[in-house]
A and B are shown apart, each in its own frame.
Chain A
Amino acid sequence: MTEPMIKLTIDGELLEVPAGTTVMKAAEKLGINIPRLCYHPDLSLEGACRVCVVQVEGFNHFIASCSQQVWEGMMVQTNSPQIRQARRDILELLLDNHPKDCQTCERDGNCELQRQAYRLGVRERLFEGKRKQYPQDESSKSVVRNPEKCILCGRCIRVCAEVQGVQNLSQHGRGFNTVVGPANLGPMDESACIQCGQCVAVCPTAAFLEKDHTERVWEALSGAAGKKHLVVHTAPAIRATIGESFGFPLGTPVTGQLVTALRRLGFDAIFDTNFGADLTVIEEGNEFLKRLNGEGPLPLLTSCSPGWINFMEKFYPEMIPLASTCKSPMQMTSTLIKTYYAERKGIDPKDIFVVAIMPCVAKKYEAARPEQLLSQGETVTDAVLTTRELAWMIKSYGIDFANLPEGEYDRPLGVSSGAGDIFGTTGGVMEAALRTVAVKLTGEELGPLVFEAVRGIVGLKEATVSIGGQEINVAVCDGLTHAKKALAYIKSGEKNYHLVEMMACPGGCIMGGGQPYPPFEMDVLDPELAKLRAKALYSVDAHKQLRRSHENPAITKLYEEYIGEPNGEKAHELLHTHYQARMPRGIR
Chain B
Amino acid sequence: MSHCCQVSTDNWEDVKAKCLTALPEDIVNYIDDHKGDEHAESNLIAILHRVQRHFGYLGQEQMNAVAQLAQIPLAKVTGVATFYHLFRLQPRGKHVISVCMGTACYVKGAEKLSQRLMDELGIHYGETTKDGMFSLDNSRCLGTCGLAPVIMVDDQVYGPVTPSEITIILEKYIKQPRAAAPKAALAVQ
Residues in chain A within 8 A of chain B (CB atoms): 161, 167-174, 181-185, 191-192, 296-298, 317-322, 490-491, 493, 496, 579-581, 583-588
Contacts and interface: CB of A to CB of B under 8 A. Distances in A.
A18 to B, nearest CB: 29
Interface of B: 1-5, 7-12, 15, 60, 63-64, 67-68, 71-79, 82-83
B57 to A, nearest CB: 14
A489 to B, nearest CB: 11
A170 B73 contact: yes
Contacts of A588: 71
Contact of A170 (B60, B63, B79): B79
B86 to A, nearest CB: 12
A192 B82 contact: no
Contacts of B68: 585, 587
B9 A321 contact: yes
B83 A171 contact: yes
B9 A184 contact: no
A506 to B, nearest CB: 20
A168 B75 contact: yes
Contact of A318 (B9, B71, B73): B9
A317 B10 contact: yes
B95 to A, nearest CB: 25
Contact of B10 (A170, A182, A581): A581
Contacts of B12: 317-318, 585
A586 B73 CA distance: 7
Nearest to A321: B5
Contact of B79 (A171, A296, A583, A586): A171
21 contacts: A170-B78, A170-B79, A172-B83, A174-B82, A181-B75, A183-B63, A183-B73, A183-B74, A184-B78, A192-B75, A296-B3, A317-B9, A317-B10, A318-B10, A321-B7, A322-B1, A581-B11, A585-B68, A586-B73, A587-B72, A587-B74
Given A168-B73, A317-B11, A587 B83 contact: no
Nearest to A169: B75
A584 B60 CA distance: 13
Contacts of B2: 297-298, 493, 496
A126 B3 CA distance: 68
A322 B67 CA distance: 27
Contact of A297 (B4, B8, B10, B63): B4
Contacts of A317: 9-12
A200 B57 CA distance: 34
A296 B1 CA distance: 11
Nearest to B10: A318
Contacts of A584: 64, 74
Contacts of B83: 171-174
Contact of B78 (A183, A318, A319): A183
Contacts of A192: 73-75
Nearest to B9: A320
